[in-house]
A and B are shown apart, each in its own frame.
Chain A
Amino acid sequence: MPAVAETIDTVRDVTEGSYKWGFETEVEQDIIPKGLDEDVIRLISAKKNEPEWLLEWRLKAFRAWQGMDEPRWAAVSHPPIDFQGLSYYAAPKQAKAPKSLDEVDPELLRTYEKLGIPLKEQERLAGVAVDAVFDSVSVATTFKDKLAEVGVIFCSFSEAVREHPELVRRYLGSVVPASDNFYAALNSAVFSDGSFVYIPRGVRCPMELSTYFRINARNTGQFERTLIIAEAGSYVSYLEGCTAPMRDENQLHAAVVELVALEEATIKYSTVQNWYPGDAEGRGGIYNFVTKRGACRGAKSKISWTQVETGSAITWKYPSCILQGEGSVGEFYSVAITNNRQQADTGTKMIHLGKDTRSTIVSKGISAGEGQNTYRGLVRIMPKADRARNFTQCDSLLIGDRCGAHTIPYIESRNPTAKVEHEATTSRIAEDQLFYCRQRGLSEEDAVGLIVNGFCREVLAELPMEFAVEAQKLLAISLEGSVG
């Protein structure tokens, strides 16, 4: 497999455990003052020329948020977050909104090039359409015209509010209500931008859609929203990637993703999460508190989540499926790595409402250094979900003896015809495995990369090809220095 050779090349290239996406872009920023109150929300809404209904929606969310407490049940610990100490809007200054890539600040284009997302080149070459989100705003979306030919809408969230208000209004908050949880409510109040996707009835989206999130500004949070609607009989594969500069202070990222799949529609949503994880001593890094949920509304619809979580100081994230349509299918494939002082509490919720609904959960947790990795999952079978089926497999891999792996599965079945299976394993990269590989000529790091890639194989196989290679590289880099 050439992909594994890539992994090895990458490990060789990177000699010191460095986060190579950690640079900062010098652009003039439009940042609003720190703090959060109704005026700030009005300001954000005004900056985006939003309609009144959306401002009202934000304010309602804000009022709900004020009455909520931060969730404390996750197996993560961090100093209290000063929500008044953050700025809730940062955008690169531009005279006017760019109409095409030629009008985008070249400095921003260079940033994405450095990140391996050449927006211009991408437009010409690869079969992937990209929406590039820089701090609070979308700076460019590629391939829009080509997608429009088949009726696919792929644009920034702000543009969707302007151009397709009826769709946004109909679906926004329909899967993750504004007051769903503390971070979702905060996001609903202050979200700045994100991606919007609409696939019309019967259309198979002709290319991969991708959003690349970049946090750049200091002392800001990033709150983006993604909304994907797949009409009956349609198909879309969507991928998000994310990076941030290296900083000593922690930064907050609280996103919301909503997916709606109608009859016989399929949404495949893949994430390669590579936010700055902090340094080896646990200084800095992104707090990634994200709500992702998909609704399989139509019969035989399918939502598949695949995530490779290598970054962030703290990950708190449970991509979920509400299986409402008869015979609908939910899938969750996850690899989560925690190295050094990283903490991850991640998993999924599969809510079976409809008859003959099926869900599959495959979670691979890898802990190294002093990393703490928790799988937390809920499988709930409601009374009407006759013959619902779930299969869950949770595997943990430990590297070293100072890390931890925890598995917390909740299973609630209220239908006697349902079948729920759960398997869990915990293993260690054994000394004999490493020695065996090294005796055959592989370096210790290559050996770890090989064993880890083997461990994650079922999940990596779910990623689109281009991203599987990227993900394998990341796995290797994330585990650098974890052995020996």
Chain B
Amino acid sequence: MDAMLTIEGLTATVDDKPVLKGIDLAVPAGEVHAIMGPNGSGKSTLGYVLAGREGYEVTGGRVTFRGQDLLAMEPEDRAAAGLFLAFQYPVELPGVGNANFLRQALNAIRRKRGEAELDAMQFLKLVRAKMKALGMTEEMLKRFVNVGFSGGEKKRNEILQMSVLEPAFCVLDETDSGLDIDALKIVADGVNALRSPERGMLVITHYQRLLTYIVPDRVHVLVGGRIVRSGGPELALELEEKGYGELQEAA
């Protein structure tokens, strides 16, 4: 069976420096895969390349997402196709209301898919239900996108967007960074609630900590732009114990 996301021989540069040096990875629908690795190994770059960020130059390889050539698509088309990136550092949009932003995004995606747009009332009903499930207060909807949000609030806002947009595939880029343990649990609960047989996930993290709460099906270790080891969830624990040192030497 074809995986939902298949990455083959992917190489990419940032500022002309090679960062990804040949990634092969397949994530089937219904599975959560974790990418672990030390700083500078290319984890975030992989997320940005998948989402199509400018300045992240693909130099070789291919990525197939639900049967489509992902790398040929514009970022907004990748979003409409069902790819969602939860940002490590969610971006502030001054003056842009959080609810408005989310509705614009949802309707843009729905339009691209040929689905009917939601009016303000329908949207509000949807988003209220999602917020309740995530234990979030509605006050967050009235604020400007991520402006003045605490680290934890920003990450929860990402999870809210994810649960409203209902993407087929989620890439979570160091969603655990900057979170205390309580916030981490809330975010992990939100992510776990989105796990489903139809949805794939790629969880990028430096630490094993997050994977205690979001238990992955597979763990891949990224070092020096290559996946140097893959295994089950136990691999994360092993890394926590031994660190990346040995693997870095091997790479």
Contact = CB atoms under 8 A, between A and B. Distances in A.
Contacts of B76: 438-439, 441-444
Contact of B79 (A1, A441, A444, A457): A441
Contacts of A435: 51, 53-54, 75, 91
Looking at B76, B103, B112, B161, which has the most chain A CB atoms within 10 Å of its CB?
B76
A439 B94 contact: no
A446 interface: yes
Interface string A69-113: 000000000000000000000000000000000000000000000
A4 interface: yes
Interface string B59-80: 0000000000000001110111
B108 interface: yes
Given A439-B51, A441-B108, A442-B76, A1 B94 contact: no
A439 B104 contact: no
B85 A5 contact: no
A410 interface: no
B97 A1 contact: yes
Interface residues of B, number: 37
B228 interface: no
Interface string A429-444: 0111101111111111
B105 interface: yes
Nearest to A430: B91
A225 to B, nearest CB: 36
B58 to A, nearest CB: 16
Interface residues on A, range: 20 to 34
Given A433-B91, A454-B93, A442 B100 contact: no
A439 B100 contact: no
A189 to B, nearest CB: 44
A455 interface: yes
B49 to A, nearest CB: 12
Contacts of A443: 76, 108
A407 to B, nearest CB: 18
B108 A436 contact: no
B108 to A, nearest CB: 4
B109 interface: yes
A439 B79 contact: yes
B80 A441 contact: yes
8 contacts: A1-B100, A435-B91, A439-B78, A440-B161, A441-B79, A441-B112, A442-B105, A457-B95
Given A437-B105, A438-B74, A450-B96, 19 more contacts: A431-B54, A431-B55, A432-B91, A433-B93, A435-B53, A435-B75, A436-B93, A437-B93, A438-B75, A439-B76, A439-B87, A440-B108, A441-B106, A441-B165, A442-B108, A443-B76, A443-B108, A444-B76, A451-B96
